[in-house]
Amino acid sequence: MLERRYRLVACTCFAALRMLQDPAVALALEQQQAPFHTVILDEAGLVSRAAAAALSLLAANRFLLVGDPRQLAPISRVARLLPSHQARWLSESALGHLDIEDAGRPGVQFLREQHRMLPEIRRVVSRYLYADQLQDSRKVVVRETLDWHDLDPPLQGQPRALWYVLDEDTTDPAAIRASRGPRGRSWRHEPLTGLHPPCTGSRAPRRDS
């Protein structure tokens, strides 16, 4: 039950969807009175269109979707049993209609600056998924990097980013698939050929503390 003394509510999507079943909320929606001024849906790339449409009813003014349209789509078992025009509402994400070219359109903001990946890894991801639009934040550029010579084999001396080009591989596709490890607790596959390291980049020397 919602209380007016709370100005901010944080919850999961499942909890928010259950909120729609609350009699007081349902009555307010029937009277076109949404319980919140603004609703922010984080990780919207993992939320189906149907769920996002339902959650938007909770917002009286703004419904903001934050996420990555390049992320894996939501997983829905029910969608497999429905006609395609219905299944898309469950199997496609709330951001599935967006692409890089949509950046700059009204209501669409593309966050180009990344704060996690090392530049060598970012270049691979940016080139294949984001049309070379990603940029490194200052803290990524100046971050102290690992001395990879301290790592154990087989990572010792290897580049940070590897490309596996499927179009140039002559291996049977079935051999590329990963299989479950012992007792189904992990994934594993045999060593692959066709690895290309075009994004090795220069490594900043490690600074001793």
pLDDT, residue 23, reads 92
Structure tokens at 32: 């076109």
Q: Across all residues in the chain, what is the average pLDDT?
A: 78
Q: Going by C-beta distance under 8 Å and a sequence separation of 6 or more, which residues neighbour residue 170? A: none
For residue 141, the model assigns a pLDDT of 81
pTM for the predicted model, two decimal places: 0.65
pLDDT, position 161: 61
151-193 per-position pLDDT tens digit: 667 767 766 666 666 666 676 766 666 666 666 555 565 655 5
Question: Does position 206 have pLDDT exceeding 50, yes or no?
Answer: no
Under 8 Å between Cβ of 100 and 133: yes
202 vs 24 pLDDT, higher one: 24
Residue scoring higher pLDDT (4 or 115): 115
pLDDT exceeds 80 at position 148: no
Would you place residue 198 in the very low, low, confident or very high pLDDT band (cuts 50, 70, 90)? very low
